[in-house]
Amino acid sequence: MNVGERVDVAAQLRRTGIHVTLDEVLPNRPNVIASIPGNSPEQSLLFETHLDTVMPNAKMRNPFRPEVRDGAVYGLGACDAKGCLAAMMAAIEAVSQLGRSPSVTVVLAAVVDEEYQYRGVS
Give the model confidence (pLDDT) of 36-55 as tens digits.
999 997 899 999 998 877 77
pTM: 0.78
Q: Which of 5, 8, 23, 114 is catalytic?
A: 114
Q: Based on the residue annotation, tell me whether 52 is a catalytic residue of this protein.
A: yes
Domain coordinates in residue numbering, the chain: 3-55+63-111
| CA distance readout (Å), 122 to 46, 94, 99, 105, 112 | 15, 28, 34, 21, 11
Helix H or strand E encompassing 14:
helix 3-15
Q: Which of 8, 23, 24, 52 is catalytic?
A: 52
Output the pLDDT for position 64: 79
Give the model confidence (pLDDT) of 1-36 as tens digits.
444 555 589 999 999 999 999 999 888 889 999 999
Q: What 8-state DSSP symbol labels residue 39? A: S
Q: Based on the residue annotation, tell me whether 5 is a catalytic residue of this protein.
A: no
CATH top class, domain 3-55+63-111 = alpha beta
Output the pLDDT for position 117: 62
